[in-house]
Amino acid sequence: MIQLPQAVKNLIIINVIFYVATFYIFDTNMMFEWLALFYPESPYFKAWQFITHMFMHGGFMHIIFNMYALYAFGSPLEQMWGTKKFLFFYFSAGLGAAAIYTLANYFFQDVNAVAVGASGAIYGILVAFAMTFPNAKLALIFFPVPIAAKYFIPVLIFGDLFFGFTSYSVGNVAHFAHIGGALIGFITMLVWRKNQFNRWN
């Protein structure tokens, strides 16, 4: 078992609190209207939604998958980077995901789109993990053959590109948020490889 570092532990706790509050304490519709990410022209849009949508989830399996990924892939990164650097990366990827998702909705004229979940930030974490531990073996439940992270993560991202630009997507998935988080994560890692943030170590 990977020991939970401070930021990963606190992020999981906050996400669980938001989930419980949304589905078991407060009015669910009200919580989504206030905290999910709406298109800027929507009457429900609030500026804080660029942050709060990262702590909202659409259901039990949604939060389980995201929190497991945060635990499994985020823990070794925080242990290596430290808490401040990890949090900077996490929220940069999440905000970048929200911005690119909103931009995609503008170009596709999908002004009714609503986004919830930590997936954008998680995709940034996945990219960072693949670039840091490229030969780590990963497997999915429905495809239990171990594949190196340097191949596994790009396949996930190309899947989002395919589903984002076609009509084959299954369910209400914010593919462009995933792509946005992955892109920001990739760019951030390239910058960090030039030692721009060593003062945080």
- Domain of 196 in residue numbering reads as 6-200
Residue 132 lies in a domain: yes
Gap between the Cα atoms of 201 and 196, Å rounded: 11
Gap between the Cα atoms of 198 and 201, Å rounded: 5
Residue 83 lies in a domain: yes
Confidence class of residue 109 from pLDDT cuts 50, 70 and 90?
A: confident
Residue 56 lies in a domain: yes
Q: What is the mean pLDDT of residues 181-187?
A: 97
Quote the pTM value: 0.92
What pLDDT, on a 0 to 100 scale, did the predictor assign at position 142? 56
Among 169, 188, 175, which Cα is nearest to 127's?
188
Residue 41 lies in a domain: yes
Do β-strands 37-38 and 143-148 pair in parallel, antiparallel, or remain unpaired?
Answer: unpaired
Alpha-carbon Rg for the chain, nearest whole angstrom, is: 17
Residue 145 lies in a domain: yes
What pLDDT, on a 0 to 100 scale, did the predictor assign at position 165? 84
Q: Is the pLDDT of residue 78 over 90?
A: yes
Residue 1 lies in a domain: no
Residue 49 lies in a domain: yes
Which element (helix H / strand E) includes 149? helix 149-165
Above pLDDT 70, what percent of the chain?
91
Q: What is the CATH number of the domain that holds 110?
A: 1.20.1540.10
Residue 103 lies in a domain: yes
Domain count, the chain: 1
